[in-house]
Amino acid sequence: MSRFKLTIEYDGTRYSGWQKQPGVRTIQGECESALRQALQGAKFDFQGSGRTDAGVHATGQVAHLGTGTAPAPDTLRLRLNDALPVDIAVITVERAPESFHARHDAVGKTYLYQISRRRTAFGKRYVWWLKDQLDVLRMREASMAFLGMKDLRAFTDDDPEEKSTKVLIEDLRVTESGDLIIIRIDGSHFLWKSVRRITGILVEVGRGSLSPADVLDLLGSSSKNAARFTAPPSGLFLARVYYKGMTRPKTIHHLLNVPHER
């Protein structure tokens, strides 16, 4: 049995998320369709490191492929890209140990969220455009409340009775680049909608609608108040998935460089 590790990027705008579902277009579904062509009908097992929601993008999604028959990694990558839609691309294909599992072996992930402070004609799919003036210093102050092991039950629609809602947030940075505000969040793993809700809360702090102290109250609550502030999926990217032995880069470049000119 051959095992491969695939790194995949995609524009999630046209898709109902990563996970294969009946009757809708998904990233996993499109990849499996391409694999059937590339492997000429051979049986395979294909799984990603985790799901991304409808409309969410990725520059570094990871998946594993197990199959009895496969071409060389570079040949497989070329065949897949020939069969995939233009908004999905396989960046690398590497041989992996037979025990490698894209989801179970992952030890951390990095997400980026892009907020634009000006209207952009080219990046609407990839940013959350806000007309409001945001106080970035207040957002940075509020972001500190999320660091460490946190119970994010108020920031997800996952059922706390079925899975743990505790997440180790290792880093959360709010930076500026021209007219972009970039939120980078590094953690052990992430719950359904949690990054979008953290972003939405930080935006409300930046607007002045919430105070940094309000964030602590939300973190200490089991209520669903945070759901009211869920950021749209358009600005969110799964940037990296980490495995044992990998070094986490200090900086990850954002995808869209919105010019300074208004």
**Residues linked to residue 6 through DSSP beta bridges, in sequence order:** 63, 93
- For 134, phi and psi rounded to 5 degrees? -110, 135
> Whole-prediction pTM value?
0.91
Q: Tell me the per-residue pLDDT of 115-160, one tens digit each, with 9 for 90 and over.
A: 999 988 888 899 999 988 999 999 999 999 999 998 888 888 776 6
- For 178, phi and psi rounded to 5 degrees? 60, -125
pLDDT at 55 (0 to 100): 95
Alpha carbons 249 and 226: distance in angstroms, whole number: 30
* pLDDT above 70 for 260: no
Give the type of residue at 179: D
pLDDT at 31 (0 to 100): 98
Element (H, E) at 35: helix 27-38
pLDDT at 250 (0 to 100): 66
pLDDT at 213 (0 to 100): 87
Q: Tell me the per-residue pLDDT of 107-117, one tens digit each, with 9 for 90 and over.
A: 999 999 999 99
Nearest C-alpha neighbor of 53 from the set 24, 9, 12: 12
* pLDDT above 60 for 219: yes
* pLDDT above 50 for 86: yes
Which domains are seen in the chain, by residue range? Answer: 2-95 (3.30.70.580), 107-243 (3.30.70.660)
Nearest C-alpha neighbor of 115 from the set 232, 211, 210: 232
- 116-122 contact pairs (CB < 8 A, 24+): 116/179, 116/180, 116/181, 116/256, 116/258, 117/179, 117/180, 117/181, 118/179, 118/258, 118/262, 120/179, 120/256, 120/258, 122/256
pLDDT confidence of 223, banded at 50, 70, 90? low
Q: Tell me the per-residue pLDDT of 1-23, one tens digit each, with 9 for 90 and over.
A: 899 999 999 999 999 999 999 99
Residue with tokens 């599992």: 101
* pLDDT above 60 for 257: no
**Residues linked to residue 149 through DSSP beta bridges, in sequence order:** 168
pLDDT at 164 (0 to 100): 83
pLDDT at 122 (0 to 100): 81
**For the chain, what percent of residues have pLDDT higher than 70?**
92
Catalytic residue annotation = 53
Q: What is the DSSP letter of 232?
A: P
What would the two tokens of residue 105 be? 């072996």
